[in-house]
Amino acid sequence: MTKVTMTVNGKAVSGEVEGRTLLVQFLREGLGLTGTHVGCDTSQCGACVVHVDGKAVKSCTVFALDVEGASVRTIEGMANADGSLGTLQQAFQDHHGLQCGFCTPGMVMTSAALLAENPKPTEAEVRDYLEGNICRCTGYHNIVKAVLAASGQDVSAVAAE
């Protein structure tokens, strides 16, 4: 076992891990942050997306030891300081961008990364950026709508209101 230290949602944390311990395992089992989910074993579903030093990564496909010293942000760190939903989270609720909720943490984290890079994405850009996040419930309609709305764009013309 090796000691690993990092900052998670603004707090310094450390723990003992094996070489093979994935970041997602460290978060879920080591820190009890179970909001980050595991939905596949081939790096495709995106349920495990977190931010490492501000960038979206699949935490099932990075070793905990490889992010030694990094700053990690998970879904648990996305709410406002007062505990209320952040803008993007609120848009997901307002536009019914989630059903079973399992893919949701990854969707929110990936979308947050998109909006950080591209504050006013087009519909096509949103869909393209979500390439690595699979949702089985929503048919993506309301996820895309929520992300567009969170970017401050008018989505009232989007079908099915």
Partner 1 sequence: MPKDHGIGASMKRREDVRFLTGRGQYTDDVSLHGQTHAVMVRSTVAHGRIRSIDTSAAAAMPGVLAVFTGEDFKDMGGNPAGWLINSRDGTPMREPKRPVLAHGKVRHVGDAYAAVVAETYAQARDAAEQLAADTEIEELPAIVDMAAAVADSSNRVHDEIPDNLCFDWGWIEDNRAKVDEVFKSAPHVTTLELVNNRLIPNAMEPRASIGEYFPGTGDYRLTTTSQNPHLHRLLIAAFVMGIPENKLTVVAPDVGGGFGSKIYHYGEEAVVLAAAKKLGRPVRWTAERSESFISDAHGRDHVTKIELACEKDGTFLAFRTATLANVGAYLSNFSTATPTFLHGTLMAGPYKVPNIYVNVKTVFTNTVPVDAYRGAGRPEATFSLERIIDKMCRELNLDPFEVRRKNFITPDMFPYTTPVGLAYDTGNYGATLDKAMEIGDVAGFEKRRAESAKKGRLRGMGLSTWIEACGIAPSHLVGVLGSRVGLYDAATVRVNATGNISVMTGAHSHGQSHETVFAQIVAEKLGVPESAVEIVHGDTSKIPFGMGSYGSRSLAVCGVAVTKAIDKIVAKGKKIAAHMLEAAEEDISFADGKFSVAGTDKAKTFGEIAFSAYVPHNYPLETLEPGLEETAFYDPANFTFPAGAYICEVEVDPETGKVDICSFACADDFGNIMNPMVVDGQVHGGVGQGIGQALLENTSYDENGQLLTGSYMDYAMPRASDVPFYTVDYSCQTPCTHNPLGVKGCGEAGAIGSPPAVVNAVIDALHRGGLTHVKHIDMPVSPSRVWSAING
Partner 2 sequence: MHNFEFVKPSTIAEAVKALAREDAQALSGGQTLMPTMKQRLAAPAVLVSLTGIPEMRGVCRNGDALEIGAATTHAEVAREAAAAYPALAGLAGGIGDPAVRNLGTIGGSLANNDPAACYPAAVLGSGATVVTSKREIAADDFFQGLFSTALEEGEIIISVRFPIPERAGYAKFEQPASRFALTGAFVAKYASGVRVAITGAGQDGVFRWSDGERALSASYAADALSGLSVSPDGLMADLHGTPAYRANLVKVMTQRAVRAS
Question: How far is 27 from 31, CA to CA, in rounded Å?
Answer: 5
List binders of partner 2 among 110-149 (CB under 8 A). Answer: 110, 113-114, 129, 131-133
With CB under 5 to 8 Å by kind, the binding choice for 75 among partner 1, partner 2, none is partner 1
List binders of partner 2 among 36-75 (CB under 8 A). Answer: 41-44, 46, 49, 52, 55-58, 61-63, 65-66, 68
Kindly tell me which of 20 and 157 has the beta carbon lying closer to partner 2.
Answer: 20
Here the tokens at position 115 are 């909006």
- Integer-rounded Cα Rg, in Å, for the chain is 16
Question: How far is 142 from 94, CA to CA, in rounded Å?
Answer: 10
With CB under 5 to 8 Å by kind, the binding choice for 11 among partner 2, partner 1, none is none
Question: How far is 109 from 73, CA to CA, in rounded Å?
Answer: 9
Per-position x/- string for 131-150, each x denoting binding to partner 1 as judged by CB under 8 A, each - no binding: x-xxxxxxxxxxxxx-----
Q: Which residues, 6+ apart, have CB-to-CB distance to 32 below 8 Å? A: none
Tokens 């089992």, residue located: 29
Q: Which residues, 6+ apart, have CB-to-CB distance to 56 below 8 Å? A: 49, 50, 109, 110, 112, 113
Kindly tell me which of 96 and 116 has the beta carbon lying closer to partner 2.
Answer: 116
Kindly tell me which of 52 and 137 has the beta carbon lying closer to partner 2.
Answer: 52
Kindly tell me which of 36 and 62 has the beta carbon lying closer to partner 1.
Answer: 36
Contact 80, 86 (CB under 8 A): yes
Minimal distance, residue 121 CB to partner 2, in Å: 12
26 binds partner 2 (CB under 8 A): no
159 binds partner 1 (CB under 8 A): yes
